[in-house]
Amino acid sequence: MTIIKVAVYYFVRVINLLILGRVLMSWFVKDYTNPIVVFIYQITEPILAPFRELLKKVGIGGTLDFSPILALLVIQFIANLIFSL
């Protein structure tokens, strides 16, 4: 069971860093054709898209994209549930 918890910990850590990197890139990066930028967007978009749709249905959003914040909170909540087992 410890191996599973360690694997989940590192997986969550990598996903969190990728999402944070995507947020920072949205502020500073001008070239979205860079292979690193494309890779990060391809990895994080399947995670963020459902949260973005949920926020649109609820009516939250607009010019600011709150989906990374919601995704990080939900991912951390699920990870904490797994760690508490």
Cβ neighbours of residue 45 closer than 8 Å, sequence gap 6 or more: none
Nearest CA among 14, 20, 9 for reference residue 81: 9
How far is Cα 25 from Cα 74, in angstroms, rounded to an integer?
22
What is the pTM (predicted TM-score) of this model? Answer: 0.88
As a whole number, mean pLDDT of residues 36-57 equals 94
Q: Residue 75: what pLDDT?
A: 95
Burial class (CB within 10 angstroms; exposed 0-12, middle 13-18, buried 19+) of 19: buried
Nearest CA among 74, 7, 29, 9 for reference residue 47: 74
Can you tell me which residue has the tokens 């999402």?
Answer: 19
Q: Residue 47: what pLDDT?
A: 96
